[in-house]
Structure 1
């Protein structure tokens, strides 16, 4: 056992979880790739994977490894009505049908944001938003929401842990966060990927604490700045309904 942050942790369990988290971005990995990602020798990783494989958390196909059926059994329990991602899905579908663009729901996790739910646009040219994607907090409309609407001390703590890119001017970014807080919504135009635009608003839960960021995204050919500003009130209305729903489970 080791003590971290005043808490006792089991190193073998930490390593096993590190292995499973390697599959957050890739479906199939080799033992060598996993060992390189988590910084352990292959013999140690091999022993841990053997246990995970025996318990059904890892499946083997030749020299490739992937998540096993036990993970999906656990994931099935997330799709309950007390899970925000599932609870808010009908409202997200309603917003997609109303505005015609891809709708996403993000939460902050450390120095990143995670897409916990998405409803894809029905249009031929659209933004595909995979659920579970982990994205940096220093770029994008939803990131600005997740930083702008947390308490100042929490914002400073998050900003201090972020790995800022050299080309991003922090004072300018912080000024943008103040503007986002004043206006109640955030815009992004090709900040994270070429040709993509997004507008996002906060979703508040119990005691008006920030719970998530709600966004719509699509190609810049449709989501011009004027169009996103026009859409912002519709997102705010949807977010207000979502907040009411979330307060019933928190």
Structure 2
């Protein structure tokens, strides 16, 4: 499943904007080695999912624009996210799995920033294992659906106990964040809600932001 997760993450990022992407740019954004991204892109080209348009530059094949759509664009949910952003005065994002990819890849579906113009846009691919958003999401999936290194599994267990995940360092183009799982009406995990951490070492800030995020879940 790890190889599928990596491929879907690259595919989502490749479809984020209607332009050509360089191998290095994609590798940095999704947090994978350049050789891994290059092999994935070569596979996409062989199966008609992408086109090579120059020296180490690729673009998504026409017809895959649906991957750039958000999975929940209801006015009510956007208003609620904007309210959280204004309340915290910082970047707040909602990430959800792409259709039919539960447990393998996340994508930013809505963004609000109470402090100014957001730097993260809907359609941005999210690292499952390295980001707070990804780990918060994975922690809420059934245990038998999640695989990974012993360190990752231990981290997910700690997140289940605390109810939130956080990263003290930026991950790809995402800033330092704290995130909580988002549940669907049936109790299943529908995604993750995260906010930027201004003072990553502050326990008081962490608790306050988590409390606000939980109020919006």
2:125 corresponds in structure 1 to 134
**CA positional deviation for 1:27:** 2.7
Q: Which of the two has higher C-alpha Rg?
A: 1
- The equivalent position to 1:209 in structure 2, one of 188, 194, 200, is 188
1:50 corresponds in structure 2 to none
**CA positional deviation for 1:26:** 4.6
1:115 corresponds in structure 2 to 108
2:19 corresponds in structure 1 to 28
Instruction: Tell whether the 8 Å contact from 1:96 to 1:119 is kept in structure 2 after alignment.
Output: yes
1:56 corresponds in structure 2 to none
TM-score scaled by length of structure 1? 0.57
Change (3 A) 1:189 1:36: same
**CA positional deviation for 1:238:** 0.8
TM-score scaled by length of structure 2? 0.65
Change (3 A) 1:145 1:85: farther
2:78 corresponds in structure 1 to 89
Task: Say whether 1:199 aligns with 2:178.
Answer: yes
- Would you identify which runs of 4 or more consecutive aligned residues in structure 1 move more than 4 Å? 20-23, 64-68
Change (3 A) 1:98 1:139: same
Instruction: Tell whether the 8 Å contact from 1:113 to 1:136 is kept in structure 2 after alignment.
Output: yes
Higher helix proportion (structure 1 or 2) = 1
Instruction: Tell whether the 8 Å contact from 1:113 to 1:134 is kept in structure 2 after alignment.
Output: yes
2:208 corresponds in structure 1 to 230
Change (3 A) 1:67 1:39: closer
3-state DSSP of counterpart to 1:39: helix
Q: Which has the higher contact order (CA 8 A, sep 6+)?
A: 2
Q: Which runs of 5+ in 2 are unaligned?
A: 1-10, 22-40, 53-57
Instruction: Tell whether the 8 Å contact from 1:202 to 1:213 is kept in structure 2 after alignment.
Output: yes
Report the number of matched residues: 176
Instruction: Tell whether the 8 Å contact from 1:113 to 1:143 is kept in structure 2 after alignment.
Output: yes
Instruction: Tell whether the 8 Å contact from 2:88 to 2:114 is kept in structure 1 after alignment.
Output: no
Task: Say whether 1:183 aligns with 2:189.
Answer: no
**CA positional deviation for 1:97:** 0.6
Separation of aligned partners in 1, 2:105 and 2:202: 25
The correspondence of residues 22-171 of structure 1 with structure 2, limited to 5 A, is 23-29=14-20, 36=42, 38-40=44-46, 84-86=72-74, 87-108=76-97, 109=101, 111-123=104-116, 128-156=119-147, 159=148, 170-171=149-150
3-state DSSP of counterpart to 2:182: strand
Over the residues paired in the alignment, what is the CA RMSD in angstroms?
A: 3.8
